[in-house]
Amino acid sequence: MAFGSHVPTVGVGDLAGDDFLLDVREDEEWQAGHAAGALHIPMSEFVARFGELTEAAPQDGKVNVICRVGGRSAQVAMYLVQQGIDAVNVDGGMQSWEAAGRPVVDDKGQPGTVV
């Protein structure tokens, strides 16, 4: 994955509850806490599991990519843009998500935390 100098971004406050969210953090991060309804494909497995995203993502919608603080998700968002997919990086990642009071759940659906 190539990291470009300009990555389209979106703020957590600009996301609606039904916007498509792709979480690229690793399994242990996801298990501790994530946004309910997000698709989880770790960055380390992303290229191999790319088909899961194309099956799940809305045909004409935006893919909002999130990680813990925004570095990994920026790389994945840029890769997706290069593949012709309408993708943006969620600025500040799950840390901003949690700080904004957005719900975070663990892998059992209980209240979670961002690690």
Which residues have a catalytic role annotated?
A: 67
d(CA 105, CA 31): 8
**DSSP assignment letter at 57:** S
Query: Among 21, 23, 38, 36, which residue's Cα sits nearest to residue 104?
Result: 36
Dihedrals φ, ψ of 52, to 5°?
-65, -40
Which residue has tokens 């813990």?
Answer: 68
One-letter-per-residue 3-state SS of 37-57: CCEECCHHHCCCCHHHHHHHC
**Phi then psi dihedrals of residue 46, to 5 deg:** -60, -50
